[in-house]
Structures are given as structure tokens and as C-alpha cells.
């Protein structure tokens, strides 16, 4: 009996570190929207509670540039405490900040295995969680045809490539924080997930037990004044061409100009969303690219606005852009459509695919035009959407290939069955022929028998032919 009590007590101690009530919790308001000036701090008050059967030590806010609090040396089980949070942010912020604590644990090595399913269509079935040193994680690619890559989010190094319906196992031998995500064709299709590997004994922090404070901080900057010097406001630009120029922005006020934002239809800028100290100036390059898609939009003069916004009175400048007449048809855009930014970022991915699949229609019609043709003009849609569409095309191709293979396999099976039937008929005919040839009187019977089977064979052939033809027509309706 005493032995049973000792085992029970031992198990309670061990399970303390892995069975959680709620950890550290904020039992007061845990979400705040704060409007503050850049030069003043602001105080908010929280009420923390320790929901665990053990004490927390050295409770503090995870390092950040937005808030700070005085460290709490100890918070006993079930204890409640009020604490002040000093908002020190000097720039906007929206997100969660953790309040963490440490506790004494004696888990021991558990050697548990944790399964994560990866699906290109739906992502991951679990993301952030904690394990113990010595545990293993198995990533399982459950997608039927997508090849995906596990990427270390901190180093951006490839950890492993998972083919369809395969797994990758990692055994974590030391306490670390492993951040990762998955990509396909270079695109990240999952969130950045975190696996926290805890030590099996000692003083530890389990992020799963941290309190979460949600903040939306809006910084109000003291107003200043800006001046803008523009050298030219009137341009004539041919369809497919661009014009580049320069302007000068100066902060003429006595306060910093924050997050200076430039915008305008047909405009792109060499830099944007920048700061200027009092008295500072900056030269900004800009480019004008008319978005023209048909002849009726040519032989016209357009008025376009450029806007400069920030903690100053909004500046609005007007430009006139004349577009000479040009007859446009589909061949013009086929020859001149530019995807230069796409090519810079994703050409290796697309070319690699087309090198492996040179017979694909998309590689013949699209890549030869964009990459090899190389004419440079504006893309009518965003580069990101183009590449996503390219990947979707590949997916459809793979699905179609799978269906075609399945259909071909079915035809092969059917042909094999027909061959077996034909062989059986031929064997029977040979057998009968040998028997009938022994008797002179059997010659006439044999001739009639052969004619019968020839008629039957022709009937069977045409019936099978038209059946296959109808199946092919039904199959082709899907493509």
C-alpha cells in the first residue's frame, strides 16, 4: 500500500510539467487599442493569475520595442496580481505580445512522437506547440501529387523535400525553438510555425503556458511641413514606353516627417514610406508608365495626380500625360508584354519546370514568349497572380496526366482481356480442326464452324470498337 502511494506521488510530480490548467492568464482586459503621441508614454493595467499547481518565477514580457513591465519575481499557484504595462512604442504596431514565466519541472525524457500532416491545399493540421527534449516530429505530406519543401524560417535553408505520400522525421535532442514553414515551387503556403523543445528537467519556460496580450498601437506624430520641387509636369509617352524623372522633397518644419507615402496612378517610385528629419531633403526618382490596353485609349491627354501623405498637410501635384495614337491588337501585347519582375524572381523555377516538361503546352506558348521573346512592357496583372496561375496550370496538368494514365491503364487491361479471349477462341478452333480432319465427313462441318466463328469475331470486333469510341468521346468531354 505504501509502495502504491509512493508511485502515485511520483507520477503527480512528473505530470506537473505536462498537464496544464491554463498557465499564466490575464483575467482582466487582454486586448487594447492605444492612440498615443510619439513623444509620450502611456500606462495600461493588467491582472495576472497563475492557473497552475506550481509557482511561476521571473515573470516578464518577451523582448519587444513597444511595451515594458517590471519583472515579477514569483507568482504562486492560484495567486492574482495587478501589474502596470508601460507603452513606449514609437511606431505603429498590431499583434500579440507574450508574458512569460519560468517554473521548475522534472519531466524526464518521454520519447514521444508528434505527427503533423502537410497538405498543399489546406496547409498544416497543427502549428505551434511544445514538446520535450528527446521527442520526435513526423511531417507527413498527404497531398496526392504536390512535392513540398520544409524550410527553416530563421536561416531560410531547405531542411527536407517531401514527395507525395512520404514522411520526414526529426528527433530533437536539445532544447531549442524551431521555426519553419513549407513551400511549393518557391511559394510559402503555410504560416510560420513554432515547435518549442523543452528541457526534460530544471527551470523552464513553456510558450504554450504564456499569457497573451493583444495590442493595436496607433502613433500620432506631431505635425510638420514639407516642400516639393518637381522639374517637369507635362509628358508625351508612347504606348509601351516609360518616362523617368526626379523630384526633391524637403522637411521644412521643426518635427520629424514620418512614413512619407507617395502614390499615384501610373506612377512608381524609387523609394517610399520613409522618414525625413527636420531640415533634411531627399531626391526621389519616379517613373510614369501609361496603362493602355486598346487603340481608343490612345491619341489622348490624361491628367494624373501624385499624392504625398504623412504627418503634414497632404501634397497633391497634377501631371499631364499625352499618349499618341497607335493601332493595337492582340499580337502587340503578345510581343511586348513584360514580366520583368516575375522573371527576376521566378524564372529559375519556371524554366526548371519547363526543362523537365518541354512538351507542356504552357512551356511552348508562354515561356517562349515571355522569357525568350523578352520584350519589355507592363504586365497587365500582378506578378504574384501570374505565378500562382502558372502553378495552378501545372496542378491541372498533373491531374489530367493522372486521369490519362488511369484511362490508358484501363484500356490496356481491356485489350489484354480481349487478347486472352481471342487466344482462347483460336485454341478451340485448332482443337476442333484436328478432330474434324480425322474424318473426311467432318470437312463440311469444319467449314461451317469456321464461317460461324468468323461472323461472330467480326460482330465482336465492331461491338468493342464502337464501345471504345463512345468511351473516348465521353472522356474527351472533360478536356
Residue 106 pLDDT class (50, 70, 90 cuts): confident
Give the pairing of strands 129-132 and 193-198.
parallel
Instruction: Identify the pLDDT of residue 355.
Output: 61
**Per-residue pLDDT at 34 exceeds 60:** yes
Place of cell 507527413: 140
pLDDT, the chain, mean:
78
pLDDT for residue 437: 52
* 169 and 234 housed in the same domain: no
Confidence at residue 378, expressed as pLDDT on a 0 to 100 scale: 35
In a domain, 439, yes or no: yes
Mean pLDDT computed over 307-319: 96
Within a 13 Å sphere around the CA of 346, how many CA atoms are in the beta-carbon half? 21
In a domain, 205, yes or no: no
Same-domain check for residues 96 and 137: no
In this structure, is residue 71 part of a structural domain? yes
Q: Residues of the chain with pLDDT > 70: what percent? A: 64
Q: Residues 265, 300: one domain?
A: yes
Look at residue 126 and tell me if it is in a domain: yes
Q: Which of 136, 164, 199 is the last residue of a domain?
A: 199
Average pLDDT over residues 397-402: 65
What does the pLDDT average to over 116-122? Answer: 93
> What is the C-alpha to C-alpha distance for residues 380 and 349, in angstroms, rounded to an integer?
21
Class of residue 414 by CB neighbours under 10 A (exposed 0-12, middle 13-18, buried 19+):
middle
Alpha-carbon span 148 to 186, nearest angstrom = 9
What pTM, to 2 d.p., does this model score?
0.57
| Position 244 pLDDT exceeds 90 | yes
Task: Specify if 81 maps to a domain.
Answer: yes
- In a domain, residue 207? The reply is no
Residues in the chain: 479
Same structural domain, 252 and 315: yes
Mean pLDDT, rounded, for 153-177: 94
* Judgement on whether residues 427 and 464 belong to the same structural domain of the protein: yes
Domain C-terminal end among 106, 141, 172: 106
Domain CATH number, residue 227: 2.60.40.10
Q: Are 49 and 124 part of one and the same domain?
A: no
Among 78, 106, 134, give the residue marking a domain's end.
106
Residue 466: inside a domain: yes
Residue 59 burial (CB < 10 Å; 0-12/13-18/19+)? buried
Residue 281 belongs to a domain: yes
Task: Give the 3-state secondary structure of residue 39.
Answer: coil
| 389 and 359 together in one domain | yes
**Residue located via cell numbers 480481349:** 418
The candidate with the shortest Cα–Cα distance to 198, out of 179, 178, 168, is 178
Q: By mean pLDDT, which of 5-14, 185-194, 256-265 is the weakest?
A: 5-14
pLDDT higher at 377 or 267: 267
Quick one: 195 and 267 in the same domain? no
Give 478's pLDDT tier (boundaries 50, 70, 90).
Answer: very low
Average pLDDT for residues 259-267, to the nearest whole number? 94
> How many domains does the chain divide into?
5
The verdict on 230 and 318 lying in the same domain is yes
Which CATH number is 117's domain given? 2.60.40.420
Residues 9 and 97 in one domain: yes
pLDDT at res. 240? 83
- The stretch 140-167 carries a mean pLDDT of 94
Is 163 in contact with 118 (CB distance < 8 Å)? no
E strand or H helix that includes residue 390 = helix 383-437
Instruction: Provide the pLDDT for residue 17.
Output: 40
Considering the domain architecture, whether residues 134 and 160 belong to the same structural domain is answered as: yes
**Cβ(397)–Cβ(362) under 8 Å?**
yes
Which whole number is the average pLDDT over 314-319? 96
Residue 290 has pLDDT above 80, yes or no: yes
Domain extent for 293: 221-323
459 by DSSP, 3-state: which?
Answer: helix
Shared-domain flag, residues 118 and 74: no
Over range 140-165, report the average pLDDT: 94
Residue 111 has what pLDDT?
A: 87
| Cα torsion angle, 9, 12, 13, 14, sign | positive
Amino acid at each position: 500500500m505504501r509502495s502504491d502511494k509512493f508511485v502515485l506521488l511520483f507520477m503527480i510530480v512528473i505530470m506537473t510539467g505536462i498537464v496544464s490548467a491554463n498557465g499564466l492568464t490575464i483575467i482582466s482586459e487582454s486586448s487594447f487599442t492605444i492612440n498615443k503621441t510619439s513623444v509620450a508614454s502611456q500606462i495600461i493595467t493588467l491582472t495576472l493569475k497563475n492557473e497552475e499547481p506550481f509557482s511561476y518565477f521571473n515573470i516578464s514580457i518577451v523582448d519587444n520595442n513597444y511595451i515594458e513591465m517590471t519583472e515579477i519575481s514569483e507568482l504562486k499557484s492560484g495567486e492574482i496580481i495587478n501589474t502596470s504595462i508601460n507603452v513606449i512604442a514609437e511606431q505603429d504596431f498590431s499583434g500579440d505580445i507574450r508574458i512569460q514565466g519560468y517554473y521548475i519541472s522534472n519531466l524526464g525524457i518521454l520519447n514521444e512522437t508528434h505527427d503533423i500532416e502537410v497538405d498543399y491545399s489546406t496547409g498544416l493540421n497543427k502549428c505551434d506547440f511544445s514538446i520535450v527534449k528527446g521527442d520526435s516530429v513526423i511531417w507527413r505530406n498527404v497531398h496526392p501529387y504536390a512535392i513540398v519543401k520544409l524550410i527553416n524560417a530563421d536561416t531560410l535553408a531547405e531542411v527536407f523535400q517531401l514527395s507525395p505520400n512520404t514522411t520526414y522525421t526529426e528527433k530533437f535532442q536539445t532544447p531549442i525553438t524551431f521555426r519553419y514553414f513549407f513551400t511549393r515551387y518557391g511559394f510559402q503556403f503555410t504560416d510560420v510555425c513554432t515547435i518549442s523543445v523543452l528541457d526534460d528537467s530544471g527551470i523552464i519556460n513553456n510558450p504554450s503556458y504564456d499569457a497573451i496580450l493583444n495590442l493595436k498601437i496607433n502613433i500620432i506624430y506631431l505635425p510638420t511641413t514639407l516642400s516639393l520641387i518637381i522639374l517637369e509636369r507635362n509628358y508625351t509617352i508612347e504606348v509601351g514606353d516609360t518616362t523617368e524623372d526626379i523630384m526633391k522633397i524637403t522637411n521644412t518644419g521643426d518635427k520629424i516627417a514620418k512614413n512619407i507615402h507617395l502614390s499615384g496612378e501610373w506612377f512608381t517610385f524609387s523609394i517610399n514610406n520613409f522618414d525625413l528629419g527636420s531640415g533634411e531633403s531627399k531626391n526621389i526618382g519616379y517613373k510614369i508608365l501609361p496603362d493602355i490596353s486598346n487603340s481608343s485609349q490612345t491619341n489622348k491627354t490624361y491628367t494624373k495626380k501624385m499624392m504625398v501623405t504623412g504627418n503634414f498637410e497632404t501634397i497633391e501635384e497634377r501631371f499631364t500625360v499625352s499618349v499618341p495614337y497607335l493601332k493595337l491588337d492582340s499580337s502587340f501585347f503578345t510581343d511586348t508584354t513584360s514580366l520583368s519582375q516575375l522573371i527576376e524572381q521566378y524564372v529559375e523555377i519556371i524554366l526548371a519546370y519547363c526543362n523537365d516538361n518541354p512538351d507542356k503546352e504552357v512551356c511552348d506558348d508562354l515561356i517562349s514568349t515571355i522569357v525568350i521573346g523578352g520584350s519589355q512592357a507592363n504586365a497587365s496583372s500582378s506578378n504574384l497572380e501570374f505565378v500562382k496561375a502558372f502553378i495552378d496550370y501545372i496542378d491541372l496538368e498533373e491531374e489530367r496526366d493522372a486521369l490519362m494514365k488511369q484511362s490508358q491503364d484501363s484500356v490496356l487491361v481491356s485489350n489484354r482481356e480481349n487478347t486472352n479471349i481471342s487466344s482462347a477462341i483460336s485454341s478451340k478452333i485448332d482443337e476442333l480442326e484436328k478432330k474434324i480432319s480425322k474424318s473426311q465427313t467432318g470437312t463440311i462441318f469444319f467449314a461451317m464452324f469456321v464461317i460461324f466463328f468468323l461472323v461472330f469475331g467480326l460482330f465482336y470486333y465492331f461491338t468493342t470498337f464502337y464501345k471504345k469510341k463512345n468511351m473516348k468521346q465521353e472522356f474527351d468531354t472533360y478536356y
